[in-house]
Amino acid sequence: MSQPRATKVLVIGYVWPEPRSSAASGHVMQILDTFLQQGWDITFSSPAGTGEHRADLTALGIREVPIELNNSSFDAFISELAPDIVLFDQFMMEEQFGWRVEKHCPDALRVLETSDLQSLRHARHQRLKERLKHSDDANDFSELFAPALREEFELMADSDLAKREIAALYRCDVNLMISEVEIELLVEQFKLPRNVLHWCPLMVDVPVAPPTAFVDRAHFLSIGNFRHAPNWDAVLWMKTAIWPLIREQLPTAQLHIYGAYTPPKATALHNPAQGFHVMNWAEDALQVMSAARVCLAPLRFGAGIKGKIVDAMLCGTPSVTTPIGAEAMHGNHPWPGAVALTAREVADCAVRLYRDEVLWTQAQSNGQKLLADRYRQSEHGPALIKKLVHCQQHLPQLRSHNFMGSMLRHHHHKSTQYMAQWIEAKNKVPL
């Protein structure tokens, strides 16, 4: 008796994954690993160039196939591949390739991996810029943190980015959401059907070995890809407001800042005399996190959940962040460190954790419990597979109950198809 054919998955990535550079790529790799555990047949494609820290997918048994934007070669490729599931990594890939997938593989389950709501992050960034424009107070940003969902909706709704992103979510059969707050925003304010949204946070294996002890650690640490605007903004806030307040209380304190793709504007902030060290990319982020005593993540805007804070918990490193950093991360659990509203609060909380071994040890314990309760791969991986299989089995009903998505696909895919074909024809005309 022949074995059933393995499920074929095509992942269309905005970039080739770099899990050691960004949490978004880390999440994609966790999803790929979940598929591999099922024995699924995976092809990863992207129109992007290759980054210097990209993962070796072929070593994992995943085919890598470069693709081009606005090129009908993709049509032949996907027709021959005939995937059962197509996963778009970020909504821009659904915008570019969604019509081609629907035309050539109409029965393939269309899944969108969001990482975070980009339109929410962008709207919060605009709000911060307005605040900075109209006030020179570098300390208190509490009015920016954790507004009501209706306020977030009103902040986002008029933007072109939100209209594009929300439309892509409607057009897909399943959307993988990393943040429960964003799920509620989409359901309550943007009126997406709840059954097209699936909570899939960062998925990790909880460490068995005890983490490094308080006495064996030193220094403060901050980490994050410099191409991600919230990370760069946090570095600026630390440099101008938070770090001087910490050094007032701990004159010999050292802050080590790691991040991929460090730009010259960041290295220009390097100042060993002030204990402010810009260290560039970390070859092993968990190793440097395990050596630090306190992780600083003072985010003034952002969305999704924070990979650096999950890494801190994995390493048993207490963290100090803002309500933006803590959003959707801890449920009813106590925070593994401190959540602060102002530069002064961030500094004071960081110093207390750095000095107080009892407080620090309790924060570490809180992190271990939080990881076990909310981020286990052994729970979220099977839940993801169950959701996708269920949607495959009930795809006609799922689509019939999402008229808005069907309508948006009809209008968007036609206009995108004609634009793509025009660009392709134009590119073939000799100069």
Sorted by where each starts, the structural domains of the chain and their CATH numbers stand as: 8-119+149-203+378-428 (3.40.50.2000), 214-375 (3.40.50.2000)
Band the pLDDT of 416: cuts 50, 70, 90: low
| Average of per-residue pLDDT values in the chain | 94
Kindly state the average pLDDT of the residues 390-412.
91
> Global pTM?
0.94
Token digits of residue 227: 């191409």
At 3, the pLDDT band (50, 70, 90 cuts) reads low
Instruction: Reduce the DSSP state of residue 398 to 3 states and report it.
Output: helix
**Which strands sit side by side in the sheet containing 109-113, from one edge to the other?**
63-66, 41-46, 8-13, 85-89, 109-113, 174-177, 197-199
Lowest mean pLDDT segment, chosen from 223-232, 370-379, 404-413:
404-413
The CB density around residue 357, as the number of other CB atoms within 10 Å, is 13
Residues 98-139 pLDDT 10s: 999 999 999 999 999 999 999 999 999 999 999 999 988 889
Percent of the chain with pLDDT strictly greater than 70: 96
Cα distances from 85 to residues 10, 63, 97, 233, in angstroms, run: 6, 15, 14, 37
**Is the pLDDT at 164 greater than 80, yes or no?**
yes
- Residue 10, pLDDT above cutoff 60: yes
pLDDT of residue 427: 78
**What's residue 87's pLDDT?**
98
User: Is pLDDT of 1 > 60?
Assistant: no
Phi, psi angles (nearest 5°) of residue 325: -65, -35
CA 182 → CA 44, 101, 114, 121, 312, distances in Å?
A: 27, 27, 10, 11, 23
Model confidence at 4, pLDDT cuts 50, 70, 90, reads confident
pLDDT at 249: 98
Band (428; pLDDT cuts 50, 70, 90): confident
Per-residue model confidence (pLDDT) at position 411: 78
pLDDT value for 415: 65
Provide the strand spans (E) within 118-218: 174-177, 197-199
Note the pLDDT tens digit of each residue in 254-291: 999 999 899 999 999 999 999 999 998 888 999 999 99
Average pLDDT for residues 51-73, to the nearest whole number?
A: 94
The predicted structure's pLDDT at residue 334? 98
Instruction: Say what the pLDDT of residue 11 is.
Output: 98
Encoded amino acid at 427, one letter: N
